[in-house]
Structure 1
Amino acid sequence: MRRYYEFAFVVILIGVLSLFLMRSLEATRVEMEEAVVQSEAAAIRIGLVEVVAHREVFGGELPKSRNPLDWVSTRPANYVGELDSVPESKSVWYFDRHAEELVFRFRDGHRARFRFIRESGSEQSRALLVGVGLSRLEDQSE
């Protein structure tokens, strides 16, 4: 009889520890997804600077598009294009045509939004560099 109690205690203990582990893993997944978004945004910013630098050296015109991914040579692998509404897919990048924002939709449904800035000499954004920038806006929940 004592063994049954010991076994029940071990099962309950493992269950409680598993619950804590699952919560920690979920928090880590959210943080990792945010880190991926930040690194992709940084890569896009670098691509924008490269385009402007190339134009300064070799001349030519800058793209007219408000979509920053039309400016850069490489796009995130999970970019689904320019859309008029929020896609059903999660963990994807898309460009919202109406709001003119680059958006990443997280697995939990909230969205990180980025505004493409194309101005010279503006003090409004720290993300502005050489006349172009990508500024993060407040996230939106569903």
Structure 2
Amino acid sequence: MRRYYEFAIAIALIGLVSLFLLASLDSVRSDMEEALVQSDVASMRLELAEAVVHRVASSGDLPQSNNPVDWVASKPANYRGAFDAAPDERSIWYFDRQAGELIYRFHDGSRARFRLGRGGGDGRLVISGISLRRLEQGRE
């Protein structure tokens, strides 16, 4: 009978440790997803700066689009396009035409929102008044 109690206690401990491990993995996933978003945005900011410098040097006009993805050569891998309403998918980039915002929808439903700024900025990589600013994070 004693072995059954020991076995039950061992199973309960393994279950408890597994529960904590799964919670930690979910937290790590969120942190990794945020790091990937920041990496994609940093890359887009550099490409925006390159596009602006190239256009200014060649006396060309800047694109009229408010979608920063239209300005850059390489789109984020999981960019789905421009939509009037939020798509159902998670862990994707999309451009919200109504709000004029580039949005990353996280796996947990929260959103990272970015807007192409013209004429000023928040101090991050602003060239000829063009910047990519992060807005307050939202939840759907």
Q: TM-score range by the shorter chain?
A: over 0.9
The unaligned stretches of length 5 or more in structure 1 are: none
TM-score, with structure 1 as normaliser: 0.93
Q: What is the deviation of 1:108?
A: 1.1
Q: What is the deviation of 1:61?
A: 1.6
Q: What is the deviation of 1:118?
A: 1.5
The unaligned stretches of length 5 or more in structure 2 are: none
Runs of 4+ in 1 over 6 A off after TM superposition: none
Q: Distance in 2 between matches of 1:128 and 1:66?
A: 17
Provide Cα deviations, 1:57-98, integer angstroms capped at 9, x if missing partner. 333221111111100000001111110001011111011111
Is residue 118–residue 131 contact of structure 2 (8 Å, CA) maintained in 1?
Answer: yes
Provide Cα deviations, 1:28-83, integer angstroms capped at 9, x if missing partner. 11111111111111111011001012123333221111111100000001111110
Q: Distance in 2 between matches of 1:51 and 1:79?
A: 20
Q: Distance in 1 between matches of 2:109 and 2:87?
A: 10
TM-score, with structure 2 as normaliser: 0.94
Q: Distance in 1 between matches of 2:12 and 2:104?
A: 39
**TM-align CA RMSD:** 1.2
Q: Distance in 1 between matches of 2:79 and 2:114?
A: 14
Q: Secondary structure at the match of 1:51?
A: helix
Is residue 45–residue 125 contact of structure 2 (8 Å, CA) maintained in 1?
Answer: no
Q: How many residues align?
A: 139
User: 1:55 is matched by which residue type in structure 2?
Assistant: R
Match of 2:41 in 1: 41
Q: Secondary structure at the match of 1:129?
A: coil
State the percentage of identical aligned residues: 53
Is residue 117–residue 128 contact of structure 1 (8 Å, CA) maintained in 2?
Answer: no
Is residue 113–residue 136 contact of structure 2 (8 Å, CA) maintained in 1?
Answer: yes
Q: Distance in 2 between matches of 1:41 and 1:82?
A: 17
Q: Secondary structure at the match of 2:139?
A: coil
Match of 1:85 in 2: 85
Q: What is the deviation of 1:5?
A: 1.2
Is residue 102–residue 114 contact of structure 1 (8 Å, CA) maintained in 2?
Answer: yes
